[in-house]
Structures are given as structure tokens and as C-alpha cells.
Amino acid sequence: MEKEHMTPIQWLKNYWYYYKWYVIAGVFVIIVLAILLTQSLTVEKYDLTVLWTSNTYIDDSKATLLEQELEKYAEDTNGDGKVNVDVILLCFNSSEVVTGNELEFTMQQRLTTQLMAGDAFMVITDEATYQGRLEPLGIFRSDLTALNPDNPSVTDDRFFLKGSVLDTEALSEALGDDFLLVCSDEMQKLVGKDRSAYESALRLFSALTAFPASLESDS
């Protein structure tokens, strides 16, 4: 018996009838892989993360301005040809810890997680928040003067930002008079992490404190 020859359309219909679920599964896998690949290529990769935490709220536009200022002094640690700094905002209603408040507890947990397990080696905060929330954690360096002994605005554990290179006209109101920069202690932060990122953060600290605040404010 002579074998019947199918037209291209008949062949496609026959193929679809027997293999349509294989085709659908294959197309689904290809779409998922394409989405994952696109996301991996387009996701923003940061060279440095800085945490802003205080009882003073700032909006995203101020955070963006702060990122742009920090990027002038930060390094391209991931080698992609550009410097990207991420500022994470974590603002409280008060500098004092309020026990029994669910929102307060959640925010404090987020703060602790960011400091202990996150990638933020540097923190911008105000004096009251530092004393009330951060200093008791005992995870910050107390030898910052060794990084820049010539700047009187650098004390053992903090760098006062008033009059610094970050105290620009656009950021002056947000920084106020008592905002400061602190750095995590390496023994607390480097468990399972890349030391080069921490060292890059310290070099950024040195760059930000390169000139005494009095000189910056007079210029």
C-alpha cells in the first residue's frame, strides 16, 4: 500500500496533535530563561551601600542627591565602568526605643538586620539616634581618628558631616547640624563577606574626610 504524503499544513497539524504539550513546555522554559537573563543583565549593581537611619524623614529625591554626592568619592568595585551607590532609608518617628510598639519593633529589627547581615558598612545618622539605637549594639569602629588624624571633625567613633563635602546646598537642610557618619567594625561585619568591599568603604571614609570641615565650610 502506497504511503500517503501529507502537505506541510497537515504535517504541522499532526505534529501539534501529538507533541503540543512538549512544545508548550519548551516555550514556557524559554520564556522563563529569557526573563531571568534580562533581569540579571538589567538589575542595578551597587558598588557600595550606605544606610541612612534617623528620626528625621528624607524623601527619595534627597536620597538620590546623597547617592550622587557619594558617587563622586566612591570606587568602581565591581568593574562595570561606573560608580553606583545605594542609600537605604530607615527613618524612625523618634530617636528613643519604644517598647511594646509593633511598628517600632519591626523597624528596629530591620535596622539590626541591615547592620549585622546587610551590606551597609557605613551609616549616616543623627547624634540622638546613634546614642539611643546604634551605639548600644557595639558594632561600630572606635578608631576612626586613625583613618584621618588631621580632620578635627573625626572623633574616635564618628565623623560630623556639618561643613563636610556632603554638606552641599541641596543637602544642608537634610543633614542638619548634628548628623554624623559611622563605620561598622570589621570583626562584626566580615563573616562570610568580601573584605575588599569593606576596605573600599574605609577608603571612601578617608576620601570624605580628606579636608577638615572648617576648610570645606569656608570655601
Chain centre distance of CA 12: 53
Nearest to 50 by CA among 137, 119, 150: 119
3-class DSSP state of 31 = helix
86 has a pLDDT exceeding 60: yes
CA distance 155 to 207: 16
SS3 content of the chain, % helix, strand, coil (to 5): 50, 15, 40
CA distance 128 to 216: 25
**For residue 217, what pLDDT is reported?**
41
For residue 39, give Cα distances in angstroms to 32, 42, 44. 11, 5, 9
Predicted confidence (pLDDT) per residue in 93-118, tens digit: 655 555 557 777 788 888 888 887 76
Predicted confidence (pLDDT) per residue in 29-76, tens digit: 888 888 777 666 656 678 888 999 988 788 888 899 999 999 999 988
Q: Are 185 and 123 in contact (CB under 8 A)?
A: no
CATH number of 48-218: 3.40.190.10
What average pLDDT does this structure show over 180-201? Answer: 73
76 sits in which H/E element:
none
For the chain, give me the number of helices (H) and strands (E)?
A: 8, 5
Question: Model's pTM, two decimal places?
Answer: 0.71
Domain ranges of the chain: 1-43, 48-218
